[in-house]
Structure 1
Amino acid sequence: MRLGAISLLSACLLLAATAGNARVSQEDLRKQVLESERAFAATMKARDFEGFTRFVADEAIFMSAEGALRGKEAVVRAWRKYYDKPEAPFSWAPEEVEVVESGTLAYSGGPIYDRGGKKIGRFNSIWRLEAPGRWKVVFDRGSDFCDCAK
């Protein structure tokens, strides 16, 4: 009886350990990042500054022509102005997402639009997996739109 209980306990522990190490597929990770980027962008439309701050990693670096904002506090302080008015000054949407094989870092990029919907730039973001299913932006860079065909 005692040996049976120990065997059952061992089997349960082995199953629990195996289930805990189940690998999330690359496609599922890509979908997580895509959904995170869309939710991040939705904070601008919803005028949800607190929501915006939840997507920014503590050691984030947001780069622009004026220089780099280093750390969450600096990013949040600088981006507050984009959330103060009732209407969003711009919006963005992901067009592409890639996740490294380890599943811990990801890239997202896509267009930036003015409030009228005209394409004015492009964003490029690097996301880091902070906890299962929870991604945060560690690097972000926007650039002006180039209609290079003209």
Structure 2
Amino acid sequence: MNSSEALLIKEARLDSNSCIAKKDVDGVSKYWLDDFVQIAGDGSHTVGKAEIVADWKYMFSKSSPLFERIPETIVVSKGGDLAWENGKWDYKNAKYHGNYAAMWRKVNGKWLTQSELYVSLNA
């Protein structure tokens, strides 16, 4: 994870975590492609940035979970336009935790998330 591109992705992930802590959905979603796919820890999935933004705004309007993703590995493709990230996720205010993986795509010089997969390991 020492390449400059991998560090940019890590910085984006950590900024996204900070936005979650502030319940800033726009701050989190600025890293999502329009056709972003999110697979939740229970296996449910949602497709499309607009729908996921609406889900997150609803989630944050209720008793909001506070969670973060901690990257363990970031690998940038040889072509430099795709990247793999994996790590651990953990709720700070609930018992849920697990592993995650993300696919990043570099678009017009900016790293954006194409998809994320979360697996709950607390059961």
TM-score calculated relative to the size of structure 1 = 0.69
State the partner residue of 2:34.
58
Measured on the aligned residues, the alpha-carbon RMSD in Å equals 2.4
Structure 2: runs of 5+ lacking an equivalent: none
Distance in 1 of aligned mates of 2:114 and 2:60: 20
State the partner residue of 1:29.
5
Q: Deviations over 1:22-71 (max 9, x none)?
A: xxxx8111111111111122211122111012111101111234533111
Q: Which amino acid aligns with 2:73?
A: E
Distance in 2 of aligned mates of 1:130 and 1:100: 14
State the partner residue of 1:16.
none
Q: Which runs of at least 4 in structure 1 moved beyond 6 Å after TM superposition? A: none
Within the candidate set 16, 21, 31, 1:45 is matched to: 21
Q: Deviations over 1:57-105 (max 9, x none)?
A: 1011112345331111121122223432576432222111111011101
Identity %: 18
Greater length-normalized contact order (CA 8 Å, ≥ 6 residues apart): 2
Distance in 2 of aligned mates of 1:104 and 1:52: 21
Q: Which amino acid aligns with 1:45?
A: A
SS in 2 for 1:94: strand
Larger radius of gyration: 1
SS in 2 for 1:101: coil
SS in 1 for 2:97: strand
Relative to structure 1, the CA distance from residue 35 to residue 84 in structure 2 (aligned partners, 3 Å threshold; closer, same or farther) is: same
Q: Which amino acid aligns with 2:118?
A: G
Q: Which amino acid aligns with 2:58?
A: K
Figure out how many residues of one structure are paired with residues of the other and give that number.
121
TM-score calculated relative to the size of structure 2 = 0.83
SS in 2 for 1:78: helix
The Cα of 1:127 is off from its aligned counterpart by 0.8
